[in-house]
Amino acid sequence: MAPWTKTNSQRYGVVKWNFVAKAEKQLSLAIGDTVHIQESCEGWFKGYVIKDKEKKGAFPASFIELKEVIVEKRGDEEIIMSAEMPLVKEVTTTLREWGSIWKQLYVSSKKERFSQVQRLMWDLMEWRSQLLSGTLPSDEFKELKQKVTSKIDYGNKILELDVVVRDTDGNILDPERASVISLFRAHEDATAKITERIKEEQSNVQLDHSGVSARIQSSPTHSLYVFVRNFVCRIGEDSELFMSLYDPNKQTNISENYLVRWGDKGLPKDIEMLNSLKVVFTDLGNKDLGREKIYLICQIVRVGRMDLKDANQKKCTTGLRRPFGVAVMDISDIIKGKTECDEEKQYFIPFHPVIAENDFLHTLLNKVTTSRGLWVTMKALVGDIVQIRKEYTHLVDRSTVVARKLGFPEIIMPGDIRNDIYLTLHSGDFDKYNKTTQKNVEVIMLVCDEEGKVVPNSICLGAGDRPVNEYRSVIYYQIKQPRWMETFKVAIPLEEMPRIHLRFMFRHRSSQESKDKSEKNFAMAFVRLMKEDGTVLRDGIHELTVFKGDSKRMEDVSSYLSLPSERSHSDSHKGSTLMRSSSSVGGLSVSSRDIFTISTLVCSTKLTQNVGLLGLLKWRTRPEMLKQNLQELKLIDGEEVVKFLQDTLDALFNIMMEHSQTDDYDILVFDALIYIIGLIADRKFQHFNTVLEAYIKQHFSATLAYKKLMSVLKTYLDVSSRGEACEPILRTLKALEYIFKFIVRSRMLYSQLYEGKEQAEFEESLKSLFESINNLMKTFCLFLFQGDTFQHIQDIVSSLLRTINCTVITMGREHTLISRVVACMTAILSQMDDRHYSRYIETFSGTTDLVDFLMETFLLFKDLIGKHVYPSDWVTMIMVQNWVFLRAINTYAETMNHKFLDNNNFEVQLWNNYFHLAVAFITQESLQLQHFSPTKRSKILAKYGDMRRLIGFAIRDMWYKLGKNKICFIPGMVGPILEMTLIPEEELRRATIPIFFDMMQCEENHSGHFRKFENEIILKLDHEVEGGGGDERYMELLLECAQGRPQLLTEVQHFVTLVTGLLERLLDYRSVMSEDSRNNRMSCTVNLLVKNYTEAAYTLLLHSRLLKWSEEQCTLQLDYQTLQSQRQLKETLYNTIISYFDKGKMWEEAITLCKELADQCEMEVFDYELLGQKLNQQAKFYENIMKILRPKPDYFAVGYYGSGFPQFLRNKVFIHRGKEYERREDFQSQLMSQFTSAVRLNITTMPGDDIKNSNMQYIQCFTVQPVLEIPPRLRNKPVPDQIINFYKSNYVQRFQYSRPVRRGKVDPDNEFASMWIERTTFITAYKLPGILRWFEATSMTHTTVSPLENAIETMGQTNEKILTMINQYQCDDTLPINPLSMLLNGIVDPAVMGGFAKYEKAFFTDEYMNEHPDDRDKLTRLKDLIAWQIPLLGRGISLHGKRVTDDLRPFHERMEECFKQLKKKVEKEYGVRELVRMKVRKQKEKEGSGRKMSQQSAS
């Protein structure tokens, strides 16, 4: 065979077939395992599975799928990693980890979670294939990456795995390359995102598993498609349906209205629109989807008479817009994608009518009814209008109306020009003046220019409707304070805006046409759309000045346009002055008693409400202000800047280009540019990255900009390189990516325009620019090496460390900022090196101050380790904190060695705090690797190693340095050291267990014994093992370490024997108390849980026997806290026990307790009423014994063989009491489910030593028969069978198992002659039933039964069975006849069983008697039993004849005929026997008393 050679390229692979090792040096593999390959030889590899590096071996090369690897060297160690992209590796690792959990979910029957994880894994596997294909475009790859990381994070959360922290690109964050603070923030961000995703995922977003939620989350723009199918409401007049999206919490519209004009015949006004009433509400962003609730509302306005009840239509005013009602539907789940909608599914939106005139449409939105309303179809769509027209052509076509959002979408793409002004008629308050009733106010709005001419077609009442010249409001009948809340759009060309104003006319409308014609406008108001400074009207509510006067003057522009359009807050105090002054100007007066309010919202990419931004955009109009406007750009709100991003960038580059000959504005423009880029880098505006990219590619046109940008950038870099102050350098470096994109794009445009001109100059400038960047980096490195950073950290440590420590100590653990402060403290410690620690220790003036600092630090660390301030799934943060703390602890330990170790300066409390901190650190849950999955364990070991070993070895070293001072820590440190040694880590145990023997030696030298140590370790061992510590390997190591202590050999051996014996029993106890072995517990509560009432009663009986019948006070019990005396508690317990015995049908035991209670009532407390109750209860139990059939439980012998079982079960046999009607197969199946790795033995004999000494688990189970032990008081007495039958399966301690065997000459025609019985008798420790359903068999004996003895037993059992059944049928007339028929026929008909003729042939022969002369008495006994069977059969057949039905009469007659022949033969051969008539007499007495009672009842 060729030698093994070291592999070079073949280093890493995945197992694709299971491989079972068939030789000692082979390694077993399972599908999916990852292996490291070290050597190869002729089709075989040698290496190890990554999850178990200790176990190495050979395996076939053909079973391995090889992967490309990256080999990193860390010192002498080679680190081998897969060459796959990080995300693919993460998906692979995640699938492995989820796969093992998925199997556990299946085993534990958690079907819902199992299916959920299965779906998640399917998605990840599919996406992993897509990632590996390498064919995805960059944008699709980015979207897929987001979906994958989102799915992984969600799955980890629901499976209670650790949070994965990522960088901005979605890659896993490396804690070694990130600061503690950035790591903390990444955890916060990850937790927030996961919480948001969980809400989304839990709302069944992925009903079709199509990734809807991922699409919704990844898209910044969303739309809602609505198809109006029908409006079910009989109005009788025309109506207008205004549909919009609405936020009920803020009580505001989200979108503009979609207007449907409905005719009086119940069809659309424009009949061609029937089945075409479609609208898309667009421009919705993620913020909108984040709203708590979103409604689709429809406000219905009737167009016609003032009152529908007016009969005479000819005299009524028509065309009035009157409120009719609203329809409302909560569409939050639909629009957020939580409910998937079929575009064919129709929804009914319930309608609520206007009942009273003060029911404003806006206030009715929370009231709904179900009788009338709208039928609509809806579907949430992902994308803007351009995208959805491409993707949903079957829904959205050119005829589909587009209703835009009241506001901007989250992304305003370059070229997306909008100039809409939304005006909401808010409310009014109008005085009735000389009228007796309140006015029916109608508001008429017109869009006018500065000459008063009406601008035609400038008002849009809703999307889908034609523009109109004027707007008329809804009329509320005789309402003083109407609240309209009607929103419509004003659309005017941009160049006309400065000349435009809105005029509002107020008119009273009469219900009678004749009066209405004479009504004129009684007031007016107006508002300009542009201010004098060129900015547009501000968003929000405007309270307009209401003017009164002649109706014609109110339409004259010259009368009002010079007047103030809005009321100021002080107008009410000087109304008379305004009136006088205004009347002289235009003939109009201010109406101080009338109020009119509107609100406006400007959605324009060309009109701004910010003066500074307007000045920059129109910089040519006032060039003298350009410098100031550029400087003040940083003060403008970011939302306003990004809204006008394209115009702002165009303005900046135009300034640069138009001043190309000078550098006056270069720096200002550059600073403005990096400010804008910095804005877009902010998370708030991160969606605008795509806008900026689109601008650079499609709209940017400054060909000379690259020269200016490179010049200013180089200047900043050179200034910083010289060490001079340069305030914008950090912002510049952050914006470097986009600055270079502008430079490259500008140069490309220049090159295209001038055909590559100045290429050499550009390359030289670029080279110079990169040299400046290199110089800056060199300067920065030099700055670090010069030690300034060291000094900065030292200053921070000196001034802040102790302050932050004190803050953490005083802060409550529930404080919202505690995690942030601890992160700051960890960050400071992580920056410190040995010199920082050394310098900081030197800052303490005296020993006392240093001791105080160390003690408070140790206590602080111990507190933080014991109760982490971070969530338990922030494992990366916790591990980084542990690593930082470990370094600090070890550094402070060195300080203790140098300053506080010698006897003069020894600080007991300080050392005590150190040891307790170190043990708390080593035993913290987050470091117990044995509890983690292999994946998690590998990650932690690869990144941090096993920190427990590091601190454990440090504890050992520190202990041995104590010298004579060790005695100060005995027995105080025994418990903590024990807790540490119980950690299942071999090297750690070997290093620390010897400390125990050193403690013994120390106490022996000091006191002459080590009783303190011994007492303490025995006390603590119980607590630690119950908490999960300890195993058999620990006992072995304890014994190994004891061998090396010859100086205390006898005492140590005694101690080790004591401890190992105690540990063995504690481990057994822990095994019993585990959830999987609940049937082994001796607990009343557990017995009740599984309805073992009899066992529960016996358990409580143990408790009751500890109490006396006395008035002595007893301690409070958990379940009986109101009781005072032992008598009361005992009586309550007895009543509970009696009820349990009753449920368990153990009435004999219940009667015993009833008698004891009755005796107390009669002789001690004289409570005759209670005595009567107990006697009645007792009588009921006696009656139950005689009348109710009690099924006999089966008993099973169970043997537990092999050292795989706990000590208390190992190689022992137990007798189990089965439940009513429980079959052995069911019992055995349930038993095997407790020991899933056990092997069932299919033999009933005692297994050999090979099985007993095996490391496996073997279970043997077979049925045994209880042996009746009749109580002395019932012996030799005519006791009814109902009483005796109870003792056949209760109060039994002896059980038998009989196994037939063949011996001697075998007669094929007569099996009885050679059938011997091997009988095993088991005696249990206690009688069954008892406090458990099982007891150990303490004794087993084996006997052999001869064929004749077997025949005697069989005949006796048959006779007893006949007698029992006769008595049952005599007592109960309702029993079916079939069992009796089968029993009798099986005996009397030779064709069925062969009768006892075979006994006669086998035993009643001269040959048998000659061969077995000692069996004469036994033969006589068998003959006697045969003779006694005849009268029993006779009585049974007689009883059968009385009960048999007509259809079975022939069967009975045949049976009688057979019996006569049998009787004749037997009486002739064995004599005549007669039954005692007692049972028969009793039956007759019962029948007589029954007849008497029936006669009495009949009379």
The pLDDT of residue 413 is: 59
Q: d(Cα 1429, Cα 1426) in Å, to the nearest integer?
A: 5
Q: What is the DSSP letter of 295?
A: E
Beta-bridge partner residues of 360: none
| Higher per-residue pLDDT: 410 or 1280 | 1280
Angle at 236 between CA 230 and CA 239, to 5 degrees: 60
Could you report the per-residue pLDDT of 468-505, keeping only the tens digit for each? 989 999 888 888 888 888 889 998 887 788 888 999 99
Tokens 């609405």: give the residue: 246
The tokens describing 747, both together, are 């140069």
Antiparallel, parallel or unpaired: β 346-353 and 320-330: antiparallel
pLDDT in the model for residue 574: 43
Distances in Å between the Cα of 739 and the Cα atoms of 644, 692, 694, 712 are 19, 11, 15, 11
Query: Residue 502 is inside which H or E element, if any?
Result: strand 501-508
Nearest-angstrom CA–CA distance, 1112 and 1106: 13
Residue 164 is given by DSSP the state P
CA angle 829, 833, 836 (to 5 degrees): 85
Q: Which residues of 938-949 are buried (b: 16+ CB within 10 A; e: fewer)?
A: bbbeeebebbbe
Judge whether 613 and 640 are in contact, CB under 8 Å: yes
Q: What one-letter code names the amino acid at 249?
A: N
Give the residue from 783, 242, 682 showing the smallest Cα distance to 462: 242
Half-sphere exposure of 1246 (CA within 13 A, CB side): 13
In sequence order, what are the residues at sequence separation of 6 or more whose Cβ sits closer than 8 angstroms to the Cβ of residue 487? 244, 253, 256, 257, 406, 422, 423, 424, 425
**Beta-bridge partners for 1343:** 1319
pLDDT tens, residue by residue, 101-144: 899 889 888 888 899 899 999 989 988 888 887 777 766 777 88
Confidence bin at 893 (pLDDT 50/70/90): very high
Q: Give the long-range contacts of residues 1463-1470, CB within 8 A, separation 24 or more.
A: 1463/1430, 1463/1433, 1463/1434, 1466/1426, 1466/1427, 1466/1429, 1466/1430, 1467/1427, 1467/1430, 1469/1423, 1470/1423, 1470/1424, 1470/1426, 1470/1427
Cis amide bond preceding 1450, omega within 30:
no
Mean pLDDT over each residue of the chain, to the nearest integer: 81
**Comparing C-alpha atoms, which of 47, 26, 23 is closest to residue 37?**
47
Section 340-367 average pLDDT = 70
Give which of 160, 166, 172 is closest to 185, Cα–Cα.
166
Of the candidates 928, 826, 831, 936, the residue with the CA atom closest to the CA atom of residue 881? 826
Q: Does an H or E element contain 39, and which?
A: strand 34-41
Tokens of 966: 């060790």
pTM given for the model = 0.49
Contact 1323, 1338 (CB under 8 A): yes
CA-wise closest residue to 168 among 679, 676, 682, 844 = 682
1133 Cβ partners below 8 Å, 6+ apart?
A: 1100, 1103, 1104, 1107
Closest residue by Cα to residue 241 from 300, 320, 297: 300
Query: What percent of the chain has a predicted confidence (pLDDT) above 70?
Result: 86
Cα 478 to Cα 437: distance, rounded to the nearest angstrom: 7
| Residues 196-233: tens digit of each pLDDT | 777 766 654 443 333 334 455 556 678 888 888 877 77
Segment 1414-1430 mean pLDDT: 87
Most confident of 188-197, 230-239, 1120-1129: 188-197
CA distance 980 to 969: 15
pLDDT digits (tens, 9 = 90+) for 687-731: 666 777 777 887 888 788 888 888 888 888 888 887 777 777 777
**Cα–Cα distance, 726 to 1415 (Å, whole number):** 122
| pLDDT value, residue 283 | 83
**Mean pLDDT highest for which of 1089-1098, 1272-1281, 1287-1296, 1476-1485?**
1287-1296
Query: 1114 falls in which pLDDT band (50, 70, 90)?
Result: confident
Tell me the pLDDT tens digit for each residue of 1285-1306.
Answer: 899 999 999 999 998 888 777 7
Low-confidence winner among 385-399, 1033-1047, 1385-1399, 1410-1424 (lowest mean pLDDT): 1385-1399
Structure tokens at 822: 């601890």
Which 3 state secondary structure label does DSSP give 168?
Answer: coil
Please check whether residue 1021 is in contact with residue 1060, taking contact to mean a CB–CB distance below 8 angstroms.
no
How many residues belong to the chain?
Answer: 1499
Q: What is the pLDDT of residues 656-694, one digit of tens each?
A: 777 777 777 777 878 877 777 776 766 555 666 677 777
**What is the number of other CB atoms lying within 10 angstroms of the CB of residue 900?**
19
- Supply the pLDDT for residue 526: 93
Give strand ranges (E) for 1308-1398: 1315-1328, 1334-1345
Residue 964 pLDDT greater than 60, yes or no: yes
Distance CA 671, CA 675 (A): 6
Q: What is the mean pLDDT of residues 311-331?
A: 80
Cβ 1087 vs Cβ 1329: under 8 Å: no
Q: What is the pLDDT of residue 681?
A: 67
Predicted confidence at residue 578, as pLDDT, reads 40
Angstrom distance (rounded) from CA 1386 to CA 1440: 14
Joined together, the tokens standing for residue 1036 give: 């072995």
Report whether the peptide linkage leading into residue 1329 is cis, meaning its omega lies within 30 degrees of zero. yes
**pLDDT higher than threshold 60 for residue 1493:** no
Each residue of 1370-1393: b (16+ CB within 10 Å) or e? bbeeeeebeebbebbbebbbeeee
Note the pLDDT of residue 558.
83
Residue 1182 predicted with pLDDT over 90: yes
Query: In which band, very low, low, confident or very high, does the pLDDT at 617 lie, cut at 50, 70 and 90?
Result: low
For residue 568, which amino acid is it?
S
Pairing relationship of beta strands 222-232 and 373-382 according to DSSP bridges: antiparallel
Query: Which residues, in sequence order, are CB contacts of 715 under 8 Å at separation 6+?
Result: 667
Per the model's pLDDT, the better-predicted residue between 1004 and 876 turns out to be: 876
Please say if the pLDDT value at position 1120 is more than 50.
Answer: no
> Is 1125 strand, coil or helix?
strand
**Residue 344: its H or E element:** none
* 983, 993 contact by CB (below 8 A): no
CA distance 315 to 517: 11
Cα–Cα distance for residue pair 288/290, rounded to 1 Å: 5
* Euclidean distance between CA atoms 160 and 189, whole angstroms: 18
Gap between the Cα atoms of 531 and 545, Å rounded: 17
Among the listed ranges 298-312, 488-502, 1455-1469, which one has the minimum average pLDDT value? 298-312
Confidence of residue 1361 (pLDDT cuts 50, 70, 90): confident
> Using CA atoms, how far apart are residues 968 and 964, in angstroms rounded to an integer?
9
Give the C-alpha separation, 555 to 557, whole Å: 6
Identify the band that residue 1478 occupies on the pLDDT scale cut at 50, 70 and 90: very low
Element (H, E) at 373: strand 373-382
Among 718-732, 1118-1132, 1375-1389, the range with the most confident prediction by mean pLDDT is: 1375-1389
Confidence of residue 398 (pLDDT cuts 50, 70, 90): confident
Least confident stretch, 262-271, 579-588, 653-662, 1289-1298: 579-588
Contact of 857 with 889, CB cutoff 8 Å: no
Give 202's DSSP letter. Answer: H
Residues of the chain with pLDDT > 90: what percent? Answer: 18
Mean pLDDT computed over 615-635: 69
